Structure 1
Amino acid sequence: MRAGMLRAGVRRRLMVLSTVVTGIALVAATAGGIVVLREALLRSAHTTLGSGVGQIKDGLEGPEPEWTPPRKTDLAQLIGPDGRVVRGCGAAGSDCGPPAYAPLTPPPGELVETTDGGMRLMALGVRVDGADHVIVVGMSAEPIQVAVRTSVLLALGAIPLLLALVAFAAHRLAGRALAPVEGIRERVAAIGGGGDLGRRVPEPAGDDEIARLATTMNAMLSRLEAAQRTQRRFVADAGHELRSPLTTLTGIVELARRDGGRIPSEALSSAEGELGRIRILVDDLLLLARADESGLGLRREEVDLDDVLDGERARLRSAGTPEGVRVVTRLEPVKVVGDRDALARLARNLADNAVRHARGRVELEVRAQSGGEAVIRVGDDGPGVPPEDRERVFERFVRLDSARGRGSGGTGLGLSIVAAIARDHGGTVEAGEGPGGGAEFTVRLPRG
């Protein structure tokens, strides 16, 4: 049954659950109501019988004893000492014979209540004319039984009708409540079938769960659309970056074929440069793919960030910077736990990016910050990064200059690698504007 319920639609499951819960509540409430009704009727009969006994007793014990049977009872008798009825049938004082029920003989002052032969009886022992007598008052039990039986029959007829009404209402209400969900499903199916991620699902008015589902679905579609655009741009940019060196290498091979295998030294140098460019590009792409899939697999050791940045300063000076560009460092002793090679790659990419755009100054800084963070800051006095591009600049193959020639910059993967390394170290990187203008990249890493 549970498997069948799981296979059924949500509307059917809601209808069945609503009907079952309502049925249990109705049965419990009806049973409790019938019990309460029966107890109330029994208490009313007890009160009526007690009142009748008291009325007869008061009449017999008055200054002038008289027989005053109550009107609301079906039976009122006075039983003599010999067990025969002396009042309650025929003329006063006549002998009516034995009662038609089992005789009740409580001693004077004691009250007894019982049921016999479909009658509810109450008896009280009294002394009349110096002898022990018994006052007996009775009511038929049939009205109580009829009332209870009628209530049961009405419940048996009404409960199925109410349950049918509840099932119908639950089915309709569930259908109306789930209609927006079905609309969302159909729209998502159409989007998935057509591949048009620019479409969005309808968002119902209000702030209920379905409206939030639609909002979340649209946000997911926006992310998928952005990811699709990024993927397409990534493929186009990767193809562009690989096409140029491959075109150069193809030309060199054709030149060698025409010249009988002889390749000029200039062509060999160009081929080596292009092959190195392809190797770097492929390595960067593989590194980013590994970061996306399972992380960079970093080692964990204690690293002196000031030594890493000082090594980068030495590399820039030994490799030579563009004429007029000066490298300035401010390094505080700061230790972090991370991968030395990855952090060196992070610093190298930031430094190369700064040197590429600097007009006359590159700044490398490491400092400890309150709150348990280590801060790496790399800045330049170049044109800077516009505010609207300070997040996009960390995407792959993003280069803010319009030129696509290889001499104008890198492949557009360096800052993406910086962001991946910072993220895998539990840190962040952001682009901003330096104090003197130009670009400033700030990396924050946890020191623990």
Structure 2
Amino acid sequence: MPVDTLADLLGREMTPTALEEAAQLAAGLSDGDLVGLVERLPAARASVLLQTLDEGRALAVFASLDAPHQAVLVDALQESYAVGLFVAMDPDDQVSLLDELSPDLAEHFLAQLDPRARALTSLVRAYPRQSIGRRMSPEVVSVPMTDSVDEALARVRLRLQDAETVYTLPVVDEGRVLVGVLGLRRLLATDPDTPVAEIMRPVESAVVTEDAERTARRFLDRKLLGMPIVDADHRLVGIVTVDDALVITEEADSQDHARQGGTEALGRPYLSTAVGDLVRSRIVWLLVLAVSAALTVQVLEIFEATLTEVVVLALFIPLLTGTGGNTGNQAATTITRALALGDVTPRDISRVLLREARVGALLGALLGSLAFLVAGAVYGVQIGLVIGLTLLSVCTIAATVGGAMPIIAQKLRADPAVFSNPFISTFTDATGLVVYFLIARAVLQL
């Protein structure tokens, strides 16, 4: 395949002939193929590939990469070439890249912009990191409500080259206060002399300091093409488009999924991530979970005498801890997702606890009944009863705790995904064992 051929070629010594051949192969590939190839190649080879492309395609490929990956390539590219790519990017994309660079290099890149571009980029950079203002484009085409349709179209034509989008047009008053929104289709279909104020519609907007992820999910839920961003006085300051919203939610989902698995999101493609970075993304979580798992060891030590008297109890420990952990993980994942989508808020915690307790009890009753029949037939009725009652209890506790933890995290202004599945598994392991041995002592009269 051409992609594989180009990858092999880039792995060889780059003579002038090889560079020319690489440029010809790259010219025949789509931007998507080139992005995928850059993501898989080591930084040195990827930088060579970028420099074989014409300026427009190189910018399109570079801008499609995650900001951490862009920063790695900046180190591998010639400085003048990297600066050229940076200067040609949109202000919001420039800010994302600047966040990944060292402070000195970021200031150097920022100094290369002309005064107008530097002002726009600095404006976006001034907002809090997790805010939607950090992800908006300040290059927005607005239409005064006093304009006619013909005048509005003239404004759009003047800004076609530098505007983030012209499909969604915010309508403002003389003080730049947002009063409505207008779609390009409606504008084109209306008589040229019609006042804009007569055809604009109510606007869905966001305040510049709102959380980026929540805003993006609300944006996508409303199925919008663009959302105007306003300041505290409702003055228009920028716009977010559907591609921005998709990137924000993809980043948030990647981080949540990674943390639920006990690691940190890489922020760049796996094959282009250094082994040291892979280790760093996992080691802290492993250390935390190892310390947490010590609780389980302590529980086993406390009930060592019980295990000595009835050795068969040890056989069911993996079943019980695994079932409890899985039940808690299911509940936590469901509620974390519901929080992200706005289906659940912290005020709903009592309803969530009640629902998850009921779900856990029903799951525990079903699994416990099955375990009672199987374990009772093999090891006796008393052992079967211990296992059945433990599953009922563990599933109820795990589902309730798993549903509560993400909500508690959000109330504490923490990321719900931090209360991730490994933490819940460790908690349910320890509490499940305590419940198990207490039930065993009561039923078996130990």
Larger radius of gyration: 1
- Between structures 1 and 2, the one with greater helix share: 2
- Between structures 1 and 2, the one with greater strand share: 1
**Which structure is higher in RCO with an 8 Å CA cutoff and minimum separation 6?**
2
The alignment's TM-score, normalised by the length of structure 2, stands at 0.25
The alignment's TM-score, normalised by the length of structure 1, stands at 0.25
